[in-house]
Structure 1
Amino acid sequence: MESITAINRLSALAQTNRLAVFRLLVKAGKSGMAAGEIARTLAIAPNTLSAQLNILSHAGLVTSVREGRSILYAADFQSMGDLLVYLVEDCCNGNPDICVPIAEATKCLQGCP
């Protein structure tokens, strides 16, 4: 991953509502959530949510798919995993046991429901 991609993804998460949306979508899993449900759950105005989802999508952290009249949004687990790997790829300095919890946590990214 290039530094600019990591910076864009981190910047997208560096705002209260966007971080809350992303964490909610991570919790929802690969099936994601409809925009209206996200707005109701987080008490975010629909127009504000639309802007937040656009920023997350532009950063590659969120995917969307139209299902009937709704748009379902989901966290992009591969992109999230790539960012985490980038952040810790030079970790440990000869002490691999330090990174074990991170490696274990990212295993879910390949097999989340």
Structure 2
Amino acid sequence: MEINDAISSFSALSQPTRLETLRLLLRHEPGGLPAGGIARALDVPHNTLSAHLAVLARAGWVNSRRESRSIIYRADLDHMQRILTFLVSDCCQGDPALCQPLIDTLTACPSLSPKEATS
């Protein structure tokens, strides 16, 4: 990832409604939410939310798909992985022991931990 791409991506999150939209969509992975559901959850007018979703989509944070008459939005987890990789790629001068607290934090997150297989 180029630095200008990362800057554009982070810039899209530098507004409270957009950041809360992404956090909401992350909580609703993998199913996503319709635009109306996002607007209601965040108490944001539909037209305002539409503009915010467009910014997030251009920056790579969300994607959408049409289901019947609804547009379902999802967080783009591949984009999030690329951003996190960009941030930590030079971390700790290559010494994994120094990065261990970060690794522990990420792996302690229940949504990032491997799911146990169900029978």
Structure 2 match to 1:54: 54
1:103, distance to aligned residue in structure 2 (A): 3.8
Unaligned runs of 5+ in 1: none
1:89, distance to aligned residue in structure 2 (A): 0.8
Cα separation, 2, equivalents of 1:97 and 1:33: 39
Amino acid at match of 2:54: N
Structure 2 match to 1:78: 78
Amino acid at match of 2:46: P
Structure 2 match to 1:99: 99
1:81, distance to aligned residue in structure 2 (A): 0.8
Cα separation, 2, equivalents of 1:41 and 1:54: 18
**Whose radius of gyration is greater, 1 or 2?**
2
Deviations 1:64-90 (A, max 9, x none): 000000000000000011001101110
1:9, distance to aligned residue in structure 2 (A): 0.6
Instruction: Say which SS state the counterpart of residue 48 (structure 1) adopts.
Output: helix
1:20, distance to aligned residue in structure 2 (A): 0.2
* Correspondences of 1:1-113 after superposition (within 5 Å): 1-103=1-103, 105=106, 108=112
Cα separation, 1, equivalents of 2:56 and 2:22: 8
Bigger Cα displacement from structure 2, 85-94 vs 95-104: 95-104
Amino acid at match of 2:78: Q
Cα separation, 1, equivalents of 2:31 and 2:114: 14
Amino acid at match of 1:67: E
Cα separation, 2, equivalents of 1:14 and 1:110: 30
Cα separation, 2, equivalents of 1:77 and 1:90: 21
1:94, distance to aligned residue in structure 2 (A): 4.7
Cα separation, 2, equivalents of 1:94 and 1:58: 32
Amino acid at match of 1:108: L
Deviations 1:45-65 (A, max 9, x none): 100000000000000110000
Change (3 A) 1:5 1:71: same
How many residues align? The count is 111
Normalization by structure 2: what TM-score?
Answer: 0.84
Once the two structures are aligned, what percentage of the paired residues are identical? 46
